[in-house]
Each structure stands twice: as structure tokens, then as C-alpha cells.
Amino acid sequence: MLEKHVHVLMGMFGSGKTEISLNLAACIRQERNPVAIVDADIVSPYFRSRDLTEVFAEDNVEIIAPKGAFRIADLPTIPARVRGVLQSYDYSIVVDAGGNDYGAVVLSSISGDINVRQSAVYFVINPFRPFTDTVNKTVEHLSRLSRRARLRVDYLINNANLGNETAESDILTGERFVEAVSEASGIPVAMTCVMNGTEVSGNSFPLFRMKKYLKTPWEV
């Protein structure tokens, strides 16, 4: 999976795309350099990759996002540098997309640059969120956003969690749910995400162990 040069994370609002994007970039950085994260999330004002620009710069991971007054604006814009990086075969790139139709439209503006690279597009699913709490709703959202983005979804990601209250049983419930989505959509499951060392056994899919980078104000 990590041999791809461009990794695009799609999903509905609150699915956990940004946390996975940050961890995926950190993982890729252990094998290759340079690495860039494209923060294309114009939807969430709370958890954005761009808020960790300085932290990731210390590990030589560049986070590309609007600057200045546009840094906190919810505008469907992509910095000019994004195309330059996508067209540079030196970079490994993780794209953190927004979680609704507006985010998909932003992706569509760079889909041509993504499609000509060795790329993988993932749809992140947390079945404990209201937008993806049934298989039918999840497949409907997946299909619609894929069309709007003009990108084919290659893999599903199980990110079943209830925040700090997540138990092993929740993660395994997520696996069964995402497996049902896979059967309905014909899209394979890439991995199951596990945060901060949660113990999981009997899993059906490879585990992607993550560190929590994004914190709420009361966790700082």
C-alpha cells in the first residue's frame, strides 16, 4: 500500500481522515523523503492538518495549505504549490480531503494530476458517526463523493471509534460493518485503524496503529 506515491483520504465529516492522514504521512516519512500533506479540508474548522505545520516540519514533512488570511477560511481553493508538488515525482503525498460535496469538488480540481500518478484513494468509515451508520447510507455517500471528486475509490478504511471510550469490541464491530460495505460496493478493505496502543485480537484486516496528534482544547 505504501509503495504508492499519492494517497488520498476521503470520507464523511467526522470520519477521522485528518488523523489518519497525519499518521500515514509520518509512516511514509520513515521510508521515503520528501513527504508532503495537502490539507484540502475546507469543511472542518476544528481539526485540520494545517494546525500542525510546525510540528511536522521538524520531521521534514511539509503541510501545504492556504496561508495568511485564507488559512482559516472555508473556501474551495487549492494553493498553487499543490499542483507543483503533485507534478513532482520526487514527493510522496498524502491528500487530506474535506468531508462533504464541497470537499469532493476541491478534489475534482486536482483529480487529473492525481490520476496520472501511482495513487491510492481511500474512503474512511466510522460506523458510529451519523452519516455512515448504515451500509446503504455509507455506499450512497461513497458513490456520490467519488463521482463528484472524479476519483475512483480503491480501498476502504475501518476507523471505528468512540474517541477515548473506544474498546476492542467497537473496533471489531467496525470491521464487520466495513466488510459489509466492501461486499456491497466491491471495494476491498485496506486496514483497521487503532489509536494509542489499544489491544486488538481476532481482527480480519491489517492493523494501522496510530498516534493521536489532534487534541481538543481540554486535552492540550
pTM surpassing 0.85? yes
Is the residue at 167 inside a domain? yes
Is the residue at 55 inside a domain? yes
- Residue pLDDT, tens place only, 9-28: 999 988 999 999 999 999 99
Is the residue at 28 inside a domain? yes
Is the residue at 218 inside a domain? no
Is the residue at 217 inside a domain? no
Q: Decide: 49 and 37 in contact? Cβ < 8 Å.
A: yes
* CATH code of the domain in which 29 resides: 3.40.50.300
- Residue pLDDT, tens place only, 57-105: 888 899 998 664 344 445 456 778 888 899 888 899 999 997 788 889 8
Q: Decide: 195 and 213 in contact? Cβ < 8 Å.
A: no
Is the residue at 57 inside a domain? yes
Residue 133, domain extent: 6-210
Q: What is the dihedral of CA 219, 215, 11, 9, to 10 degrees?
A: -150
Nearest to 49 by CA among 88, 112, 98, 11: 98
How far is the C-alpha of 108 from the C-alpha of 146, rounded, in Å? 9
**Total number of domains in the chain:** 1
Is the residue at 215 inside a domain? no
The three state secondary structure string of 20-87 is HHHHHHHHHHCCCCCEEEEEECCCCCCCCHHHHHHHHHCCCEEEECCCHHHCCCCCCCCCHHHHHHHC
How far is the C-alpha of 159 from the C-alpha of 193, rounded, in Å? 5
Is the residue at 10 inside a domain? yes
User: What pLDDT score was predicted for residue 57?
Assistant: 85
- Residue pLDDT, tens place only, 143-179: 999 999 999 999 999 999 998 899 999 999 999 999 9
Which one has a higher pLDDT value, 180 or 104?
180
DSSP annotation of 118: S
* Residue linked to cell 491528500: 95
Q: At residue 107, does pLDDT exceed 80?
A: yes
